[in-house]
C-alpha cells in the first residue's frame, strides 16, 4: 500500500465541501467527526486526501465504530507517511510501530497524563498520532486536545512580537531521564528512567504550520523546560503562562471514548491530555505515530 507522503493541503482548500467523506465539527475550537469511512479497508487516495484535509482544518478527527487489526491500523497510518517508533517507550513485541497504552485497575500513573505534544523533543517531531480504543472504562478516561493556532492568535500584538524570535529547548529528560519517576513501579507501560533521555533539541517557539501556513505556539509541557540561552528558573514564569494560556478551556475539546473509536490528531498544532480519573478500571489503546519534519519559524 503506497503512502502519499508528498501530498500537502493547500491553504485555499480549507472550507471547501468534502465530496467523499462526511465531516461534522465537534467543538467550536477544534475537532470533527468523520463518518462514512471504514478504516480497515484500503481507501482510495482521494479519500485519504480528504481525511488529511479534514485533519489540517480541524486538528483532530474522530472515527466511531471501527474494527481494525494491528496490520490494518499500521496500513492506515502509512497512508500519511512513514511510522515512528517511540525512543523511550517500547512498542508491542510483534508490532513495534504500535504502542499499547495500557492502564490496569491497580495502576496509579497513566500515560499522557499531562498537557503535551508527542515527542516534540525529536529533531523531526511527529506529524500526528492515530489512537484506537480497544478497551475503555465504564466511566472516565476522556482525552482533551487544545488548539495552538487560536492560542497564538489570541495573544496581544506585544506578546506575539516578544515570542516570535524565541527558541525553545525540548527534552525527554524530565519524563524519562534518570531523575524521573520509574514508570515500571506504578504503570503498566514498558519504560524506565534512562540516561538516553538526557539530550535537548532546539525548536522555534513560534512556528508556521507546513500545510496550513498559520502560526502557532510550539510549547509542550514538561518536554519544554527552558528557552535557549536561559536557565529553567529564568524560563519558568513565561512557560507557566504559556501552558496555562494554550490550554485555556475555550481553546479545547474533550472526547468521551467508546470501544472502536479512533482519534487522529495533528501533533504539529495541538497539545493533548489523557485524564486519569478511572481508578479501578482497565483502559487499553493502540497508538501509531506518523513521522513529521523539523519545525521552522
pLDDT in tens, 203-218: 999 999 999 999 999 9
pLDDT at 261 over 70: yes
**What's the whole-number average pLDDT of the chain?**
91
**In angstroms, rounded to a whole number, what is the distance separating the alpha carbons of residues 90 and 117?**
18
Per-residue burial over 182-207, b if 16 or more Cβ lie within 10 Å, else e, is: ebeeebbbbbebeeebeeebebbbbb
Q: DSSP letter for 116, please.
A: B
Residue in 92, 11, 109, 73 with CA at minimum distance from that of residue 262: 73
Name the residue with higher pLDDT: 13 or 195.
195
Q: How far apart are CA 164 and CA 57, in angstroms?
A: 23
Lowest mean pLDDT of 25-29, 106-110, 265-269, name the range. 106-110
Quick one: pLDDT at residue 6? 42
> Does 183 have pLDDT greater than 60?
no
For the segment 230-257, the average pLDDT, to the nearest whole number, is: 98
- Taking residues 77-98, report their average pLDDT: 92
The confidence score (pLDDT) of residue 51 equals 97
Instruction: Give the C-alpha separation, 89 to 100, whole Å.
Output: 10
What is the structure's pLDDT at 176?
A: 83
285 grid coordinates: 489503546
| Active-site residue set | 116, 118, 272, 287
- Decide: helix, strand or coil at residue 200: coil
Whether the per-residue pLDDT at 23 is higher than 80: the answer is yes
* pLDDT confidence of residue 282: 95
CATH code for the part of the protein at 11-290: 3.60.130.10
Residue 188 has pLDDT above 80, yes or no: no
Q: Is the pLDDT of residue 283 over 50?
A: yes
| Residue 256: band (very low, low, confident or very high) from pLDDT cuts 50, 70, 90 | very high
CA distance 236 to 259: 39
| pLDDT tier for residue 230 given thresholds of 50, 70 and 90 | very high
The confidence score (pLDDT) of residue 9 equals: 62
Q: Percent of the chain, pLDDT > 70?
A: 90
What average pLDDT score do residues 37-60 get?
97
Across 81-99, average pLDDT = 91
Separation between Cα atoms, residue 71 and residue 131, nearest integer Å: 14
pLDDT of the residue at 267: 97
Q: What is d(CA 262, CA 77) in angstroms, rounded to the nearest whole number? A: 12
What is the Cα–Cα distance from 114 to 60, expressed in whole angstroms?
Answer: 18
Query: At residue 289, does pLDDT exceed 90?
Result: yes
* Cα(133)–Cα(297) distance, integer angstroms: 35
| Whole-prediction pTM | 0.91
What is the percent of the chain where pLDDT is above 90?
77
Question: Which pLDDT band, with edges at 50, 70 and 90, does 187 fall under?
Answer: low
Q: What mean pLDDT is predicted for residues 7-21?
A: 72
Nearest to 287 by CA among 47, 267, 227: 267
pLDDT (average), residues 59-72: 98
* 269 backbone dihedrals φ, ψ, rounded to 5°: -140, 15
SS3 90: coil
What is the domain partition of the chain in residue ranges? 11-290
Amino acid at each position: 500500500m503506497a503512502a502519499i507522503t508528498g501530498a500537502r493541503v493547500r491553504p485555499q482548500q480549507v472550507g471547501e465541501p468534502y465530496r467523499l467523506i462526511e465531516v461534522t465539527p465537534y467543538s467550536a475550537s477544534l475537532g470533527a467527526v468523520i463518518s462514512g469511512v471504514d478504516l480497515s479497508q484500503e481507501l482510495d487516495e482521494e479519500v485519504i486526501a480528504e481525511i488529511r484535509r479534514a485533519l489540517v482544518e480541524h486538528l483532530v478527527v474522530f472515527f466511531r465504530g471501527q474494527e481494525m487489526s494491528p496490520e490494518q491500523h499500521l496500513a492506515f497510518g502509512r497512508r500519511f507517511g512513514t511510522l515512528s517508533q517511540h525512543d523511550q517507550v517500547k512498542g508491542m513485541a510483534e508490532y513495534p510501530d504500535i504502542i499499547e497504552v495500557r492502564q490496569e485497575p491497580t495502576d496509579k500513573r497513566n500515560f499522557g497524563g499531562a498537557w503535551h505534544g508527542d515527542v516534540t523533543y525529536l529533531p523531526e517531531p511527529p506529524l500526528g498520532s492515530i489512537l484506537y480504543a480497544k478497551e475503555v472504562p465504564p466511566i472516565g478516561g476522556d482525552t482533551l486536545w487544545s488548539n495552538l493556532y487560536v492560542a497564538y492568535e489570541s495573544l496581544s500584538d506585544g506578546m506575539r512580537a516578544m515570542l516570535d524570535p524565541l527558541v525553545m529547548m525540548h527534552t525527554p529528560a524530565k519524563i524519562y531521564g534518570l531523575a524521573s519517576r520509574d514508570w515500571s513501579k506504578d504503570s503498566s507501560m514498558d519504560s524506565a528512567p534512562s540516561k538516553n533521555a538526557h539530550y535537548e533539541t532546539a525548536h522555534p517557539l513560534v512556528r508556521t504550520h507546513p500545510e496550513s501556513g498559520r502560526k502557532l505556539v510550539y510549547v509542550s509541557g514538561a518536554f519544554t523546560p527552558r528557552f535557549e540561552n536561559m536557565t529553567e528558573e529564568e524560563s519558568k514564569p513565561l512557560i507557566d503562562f504559556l501552558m496555562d494560556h494554550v490550554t485555556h478551556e475555550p481553546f479545547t475539546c474533550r472526547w468521551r471514548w467508546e470501544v472502536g473509536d479512533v482519534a487522529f490528531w495533528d501533533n504539529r498544532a495541538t497539545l493533548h491530555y489523557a485524564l486519569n480519573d478511572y481508578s479501578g478500571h482497565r483502559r487499553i489503546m493502540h497508538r501509531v505515530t506518523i513521522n513529521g519534519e523539523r519545525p521552522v519559524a
